[in-house]
Chain A
Amino acid sequence: MKQKHSAKGRKAIKNTLVHILLALLAFVWLIPIFWVIMTSLRGEAGSYTPYFFPKQLTFNNYIRLFTETGQFYYLRWFMNTFFVAVCSCLISTFYVLSISYAISRLRFRMRKPFMNIALILGMFPGFMSMIAVYYILKGLNMTQSLLALILVYSGGAGLGFYIAKGFFDTIPKSIDEAAWIDGASKWQVFRKVTIPLSKPIIIYTILTSFIAPWTDYIFVSVIMGDNYNNYTVALGLFKMLEREFINNWYTRFAAGAVIVSIPISILFIIMQKYYVDGVSGAVKG
C-alpha cells in the first residue's frame, strides 16, 4: 500500500516537472515575440535602449506607421503583399493539386521520369535562377511589377507536389475504381470524389502558398529595385532596418512587424489541425 502511494507521488512530481519544463520552454519561445510587442509600444525613440522594459508605453508608433507616408508607405505595401499573396495562392494551389493528383492517382508514361526530374530540379539552390528570371522578366518589360511577383511565386509551384502526392496516396484506390465501374469519367472522379476527401491537404496547400509570398524577401529584393510603390512588407520592413533609417524607424518597424504577424498567426493557429493532417495524411486506408 505504501509503495503504491510513493509511486503515485513520484508520478505527480514527474508531471509537475514536465509542466514546468514546458512552461520554461514556452517562455523562451515567446520572449522575442513579447519583446517586439513591447518595442512597438515603446515611447522612447531610437533603436537601442540600455534596459529591457520600456519606460513609456504608447500607440503612437502604430498611428505614425499608417499616417506618415512620405518615405515609407506601409499601408500600400501591406495591400500589395495581400494582393500578391491571394493571387499566387490561388494559382499555386491549383497547380500543386493538379500535378500531385495526376502523379498520385493516374498512371502514364512520363510519370516516373517527371518525378525524378522534379527531384533533381529541387536540388539546385532555389534562387540560383533568380538573376535569369530577372532578365527574362526584363525582356518581357515586367520587372518592378506585382504581376511579375505573382508569376514567379506561382510559376514553379507545381514542383512542390511531394506532400500533396503523399496525401493523395493515402486515399484508397478502390474508391476511384468503384466510381469508374459506376460509369464516372476520371474528371468526375477528381471533382466529386477526390476533392471532397482532400480537405486537409487543400487547406494545407492554401496555407503554405499563402504564407510563402508573405515571407519571401529574396525575389522581391531582386525584382523590385527602387520602386517603393510596389514593395512588399518583407522588403519594406527590411529597408527600415538599414543604417540610415534604423534610428528613426526602429519602433515603427516593430509595429509593422506586429501587424504583419497577427493575421498570419491567427490563420495558422486556426488551421493547425489541417496542417498536421495534411502533412501526415488524414484518410487512413
Chain B
Amino acid sequence: MKKELKGVRNWFLYFIRTFKKGDCLTKLCFFIMGSSNLLRGQIAKGLAFLAAEIFYLYYLITIGLSSLAGLATLGTKQQGMVMDEELGIFVVQQGDNSMLMLLSGVVSLFLTALFLVIWRASIKAGYEAQQIKEQGKRLPGLLEDICTYFDSKIHRTLMALPLTGILLFTVLPLFFMILIAFTNYDHEHQPPGNLFTWIGLANFKTILLSGDTISKTFWPVLGWTIIWAVFATLLNYLGGILLALLINRKETKCKGLWRTLFVISIAIPQFVSLLVVRTMLNNDGAVNALLRELGIIADTAFVPFLSNPSWARITVILVNLWVGIPYTMLITTGILSNIPGDLYDSARVDGANQVVIFFKITMPYVVFVTTPYLITQFIGNINNFNVIYFLTGGGPISLDYYQAGKTDLLVTWLYKLTTGTKKDYSYASAIGILVFILSAVFSLISYRRTASYNREEDFQ
C-alpha cells in the first residue's frame, strides 16, 4: 500500500520537477499542449496533443463544468407543480434527473482523469524533445515513432483497445454503482419523478446494524452464502480430483470415453441443464414421479427437493456437484499427469500404500498448483449466480426476508433488488460492495501467502 501511495505521489511530482527543469518551450507545453513538439519540428505529435487539449476544453465549457457541479447536489428541482411568482399560477416544472446527473458527472470525472494522463504524456514528450535537441541529435519522425509502438512500446499497442473496453464496460459502470451505494436511490427515490441525494454511509448502517428487515435478511443470507461457498468449493474439488484419479488409473479402460461422458454435462449450457433439473426436482417433477413408480414413496407423497428450505439448500449443493465435478476433473487431469512419476516410484519402494501416496504426494502437489484456482473457485461460488437462480430462483420465499428467499446468495439477492418490483439500487450497490469486501478479505488472507503469487516470476 505504501509503495502504491508513493507511486501516486511521484506521478504528480513529475509535473513540478519537469517544470523546473524544462526550458521555456517545455514550460509553454504546460499551458499549450504539444507546443514543444510542434515548434521543434514534430508536427503530427504536437498537433495531436493540441487537439486533445482543445477537445477537452471545449467539452469542459459546454458540458463538463456543469455536470461536475451537478455531482455535488444531484439535482435540486423536483418534478411537479410549482408556484410561478411572476404569473401567479402553478406551472409544471421539469425536474432534475439525479441519475443522469450522477452519470454525466462520473463521465466528466473520467474524462478529466484521462485528460490528466494525456497532459502528463504531452509534457513528457515535450521534455524529451528538449533533451534530444540539447544533445544535438535529430528528433524521431512520425514513422519512427509509430515503429516504436510495434517494438519497445508494443505493450501499449497491444493493451490500448482491451483497456478501453475495460474502462468503458467495467470500471466506469462499477465506479458509478459504488457511488450509488452512498445515495438513497431506492424505490421511494426514483428519478425522474423524484430526486435522490448523497446520504453517506447510512445504507451500510441500515444493512449491517439497524435490526430492520433488511439487516435481518442480510446476516442469514451472508451466513448461507459462506456455508454454500465452502461446501460447493471443497466438495467439488475433492470430487473432481477423485474422479480424475479414478479415470487416470493405469488399469482403467476407455479413459477417453469416461471423460467424454462427464464432459457432456458441462458442455450443455447451464441455463438448459439447470432449468431441466429444476423441473425434474419439482414436487410433481420427474424424480418424484420416478420415486413413486419405484414405490419408494407413497403415491401422493413427494420429496420437497426445492420447496422446503433445508431440502432446497442441500439440493442446491448436491446439484452443484453435478455441475462442478466434471470441471474440476478436466482441470486436475492435466495437473495429475504433470506429477513427476519418480515421486510415486520412490514412494512405492519405501512401501507406502495408495492412501498414504494420495495424501502425502498427490494432494500436496495438486493443492500447491491449484491454490489460486481454489481461491477463484471460492470467490466464484460466493458469486455463483447461475446455479441458484436457475435452480431455485432463490426460493422458497420467506416472509422474514426482504425480497429474498431461503437459498438466495448475496448476489442473487442483489439481482432481485435491482430487477425486482422495488428497484432498491442503493441497497443493491451497498450489498455489492459488501460482497467485494468479503471476497477481498478471503483472497487477501490466502492469496498473498501462496507461493504462486509471491514468486510469480520464478517460473519464467
Contact = CB atoms under 8 A, between A and B. Distances in A.
Q: Do A and B bind each other?
A: yes
Interface of A: 11, 15, 18-19, 21-22, 25-26, 28-30, 32-33, 35-36, 47-52, 94-96, 98-99, 101-102, 104, 106, 108, 111, 113, 119-133, 135-136, 139, 151-152, 154-159, 162, 169-170, 173, 185-187, 190, 211, 214-215, 217-218, 221-222, 234, 237-238, 241, 250, 253-254, 257, 260-261, 264-265, 267-269, 272, 275-277, 279-280, 284
B432 A25 contact: no
Nearest to B332: A280
B383 A126 contact: yes
A96 B425 CA distance: 31
A272 B171 CA distance: 33
Given A21-B246, A260-B269, A268-B263, A133 B169 contact: yes
A99 B440 contact: no
Given A35-B276, A51-B289, A98 B331 contact: no
B6 interface: no
B118 interface: no
User: What are the 6 tightest A-B residue pairs by CB atom distance, in nearest-first order?
Assistant: A155-B169, A280-B334, A158-B162, A132-B173, A268-B267, A129-B173
B234 to A, nearest CB: 19
B52 to A, nearest CB: 20
Contacts of B249: 18
A187 B146 CA distance: 12
A53 to B, nearest CB: 9
Interface string B238-282: 000001001101011100001111111111111111011101101
A152 B166 CA distance: 10
Nearest to A14: B251
Interface string B428-448: 110011011001100100000
Given A51-B293, A265-B268, A272-B259, A132 B330 contact: no
A276 B168 contact: no
B439 A264 contact: no
B103 A136 contact: yes
B439 A123 contact: yes
Contacts of B258: 22, 26
Q: Is the interface of A mostly helix, strand, loop or mixed?
A: helix
A94 B163 CA distance: 12
B38 interface: no
A138 to B, nearest CB: 10
16 contacts: A29-B326, A50-B289, A94-B161, A113-B7, A124-B174, A125-B411, A125-B414, A132-B103, A136-B173, A155-B169, A158-B165, A159-B170, A170-B459, A215-B269, A260-B272, A275-B330
Tell me the interface secondary structure of chain B in the complex.
Answer: helix
A21 B239 CA distance: 13
B263 A261 contact: no
A222 B385 CA distance: 15
Interface stretch (B18-26, B41-49, B64-72, B150-158): B150-158
A261 B268 contact: yes
Contacts of B174: 121, 124, 128-129, 132
Contacts of B276: 32, 35-36, 254, 257
A136 B172 CA distance: 10
Contacts of B273: 32-33
Nearest to A256: B272
B28 interface: no
Interface of B: 4, 7, 99-100, 103, 150-152, 154-155, 158-159, 161-163, 165-166, 168-174, 176-177, 243, 246-247, 249, 251-253, 258-273, 275-277, 279-280, 282, 284-286, 289-290, 292-293, 322, 326, 330-331, 333-335, 338, 372, 376, 379, 383, 385-386, 389-390, 410-411, 414-415, 418-419, 425, 428-429, 432-433, 435-436, 439-440, 443, 459-460
A276 B436 contact: no
B371 to A, nearest CB: 13
A277 to B, nearest CB: 7
Given A102-B154, A155-B169, A185-B151, A237 B289 contact: no
Contact of A32 (B154, B267, B277, B385): B277
Contact of B158 (A18, A50, A101): A101
B184 to A, nearest CB: 16
Given A29-B326, A51-B289, A98-B159, A277 B252 contact: no
B438 to A, nearest CB: 9
Given A135-B103, A215-B271, 7 more contacts: A18-B246, A22-B246, A32-B276, A95-B165, A96-B162, A102-B159, A125-B432
